Amino acid sequence: MTNTQPKKVLIIGAGISGLSAACYLQMNGFQVELFEKHSIPGGLCTSWKKGDYTVDGSIHWILGSDKGSGFYKMWSEIIDLKQVSFYNHEVRMELEVKENINKYGSKIFRVYTNLEAFQNYLLDLAPEDEKVIRRFIQDIRDLQDFELPPVLDPLPLWPSIVRGIKMSRYLRFLYILLKQKNQFFTFPKI
């Protein structure tokens, strides 16, 4: 006597991970029951209206909003990304620096989304650090060449060996990170 009922999986948490797991399990024939303590799903990827404002709980960055990335392909398996509006803000984040004031009298340090704007901002604040700033920005540009984490489709043996050899380029990624750890900016008044 065989049990023909699909296996049932209980998932605790309807954040992006729980929702994704539920989708993939259902796509593969499992019954899924999802439990969420909040009144709406989404976890850190939740937004809500407060008067005329939208409060965005996923203010941190969501990987995969660019059509060419592996994450975009992965997200597209479960979400119709053509129906999602992505907003790329000029300023990625603003940090209040309690101990220092920049040359404009501000305690706010900005991280711009556009690397050219970020580099110009840093150079304006600390022209004495031009060499280190340009190297730092170039290292960020170099890191953008890497798909992080690498999204890998299953391959037969020989193509997967070839891909493994090609992935040795990720050693350069590690080198860039280690090099940055040892670089210091001198400007005290950001």
What type of residue sits at position 48? W
Tens of pLDDT, residues 50-105: 888 877 766 555 666 777 777 777 778 888 888 877 777 788 888 888 888 899 99
The pLDDT value given to residue 189: 47
Q: Which residues contact 105 (CB under 8 A, 6 or more apart)?
A: none
Helix H or strand E segment including 50: strand 47-50
Q: Residue 190 in 3-state DSSP?
A: coil
Give the separation between CA 40 and CA 187, rounded to whole angstroms. 45
Of 20-24, 116-120, 141-145, which range is least confident?
141-145
What type of residue sits at position 97? V
pLDDT band, residue 32 (cuts 50/70/90) = very high
Give the separation between CA 188 and CA 128, rounded to whole angstroms. 11
Bigger pLDDT: 179 or 92?
92
Bigger pLDDT: 79 or 25?
25
| Closest by CA position to 61, among listed 24, 100, 113, 20 | 113
Contact call for residues 18 and 33 (beta carbons, < 8 A): no
Long-range contacts of residues 141-149, Cβ cutoff 8 Å, at least 24 apart: 141/115, 142/172, 142/176, 143/173, 143/176, 146/170, 146/173, 147/69, 147/70, 147/71, 148/63, 148/173
* Domain-wise residue ranges, the chain: 90-190
pLDDT band, residue 171 (cuts 50/70/90) = confident
Compute the mean pLDDT over every residue in the chain, rounded to the nearest whole number. 81
Whose tokens are 């590690």? That residue is: 174
Burial class (CB in 10 A: 0-12, 13-18, 19+), 65: middle
The pLDDT value given to residue 8: 94
Contact call for residues 36 and 13 (beta carbons, < 8 A): yes
Tens of pLDDT, residues 149-167: 666 777 888 888 887 887 7
H helices within 45-101, ranges in order? 70-76
The pLDDT value given to residue 35: 95
Q: Which of the 8 DSSP states describes residue 173?
A: H
Tens of pLDDT, residues 109-141: 999 989 999 999 999 999 999 998 998 898 888
